[in-house]
Chain A
Amino acid sequence: EAQVTQNPRYLITVTGKKLTVTCSQNMNHEYMSWYRQDPGLGLRQIYYSMNVEVTDKGDVPEGYKVSRKEKRNFPLILESPSPNQTSLYFCASTPRDRVNTEAFFGQGTRLTVV
């Protein structure tokens, strides 16, 4: 079954404690991205990756890092989380050769930073 898997689904952490949210897709997609969703603001792109070892900033990259060492994985790293990073996070993947097409989303990670 084609899917994008995020972990964990829920996470409560304290300010400053480094964390990683994992994302894995089994569709051999080149393009992957991370979004955060906050009430009234819609989906905002944090980082995206066009292929292995190729990443770039989205609209709200401050406070986040990503890596793309393998095609299937695209982890989101918060080196020093702060309460303003409390949000609902989604990973998505799309085949690069047809960027004008459907984005497949993970199940979401609800992060609370206290």
Chain B
Amino acid sequence: QKEVEQNSGPLSVPEGAIASLNCTYSDRVSQSFFWYRQYSGKSPELIMSIYSNGDKEDGRFTAQLNKASQYVSLLIRDSQPSDSATYLCAVNIIITSNTGKLIFGQGTTLQVKP
């Protein structure tokens, strides 16, 4: 089992719809979870971080974390064509008491159609 798993997609949604991106992880003690957006050929940029169970909202983006189910998701409301990109889920895996390593999923490609 991969440490961080995402459906590679593509996920296609019409403009204005809600896009739902999902991610599961294997390390039960992970404490930090991130969503990065990556446009083709560009570097990843952080769009959301979440550390505790529940929802975290930032503008049109909502991150949801369920540690019991080892599941983190990203909702994008009112999807725009400019949201078309690959979304990378990243989980911080604890190595020692004060070190960790970010593990990335393979990414989900989102296509928002006008």
Q: Interface residues, chain A, CB within 8 Å of chain B?
A: 35, 40-45, 48, 50, 58, 88, 90, 94, 96, 99-103, 105-108, 110
Contact = CB atoms under 8 A, between A and B. Distances in A.
B113 interface: no
B101 A45 contact: yes
Contacts of B88: 42-43
A102 B43 CA distance: 13
Contact of B106 (A42, A50, A90, A101): A42
B100 A100 contact: yes
A106 B43 CA distance: 7
A105 B99 contact: no
A105 B44 contact: yes
7 contacts: A50-B99, A88-B41, A94-B102, A99-B92, A99-B99, A101-B32, A108-B41
Contacts, number: 52
Interface string B71-103: 000000000000000001010100000111110
B49 A90 contact: no
Contacts of B8: 40
B100 A102 contact: no
A63 B57 CA distance: 42
Top 3 A-B pairs, shortest CB-CB distance: A42-B106, A100-B32, A105-B43
Contacts of A100: 31-32, 51, 92, 100
B67 to A, nearest CB: 14
A19 B78 CA distance: 45
B42 interface: yes
Q: Which of A35, A48, A100, A106 has the most chain B CB within a 10 Å cutoff? A: A100
Contacts of A102: 34, 46, 49
Contacts of B107: 42
A13 B109 CA distance: 30
B102 A103 contact: yes
A103 B46 CA distance: 8
Nearest to A108: B43
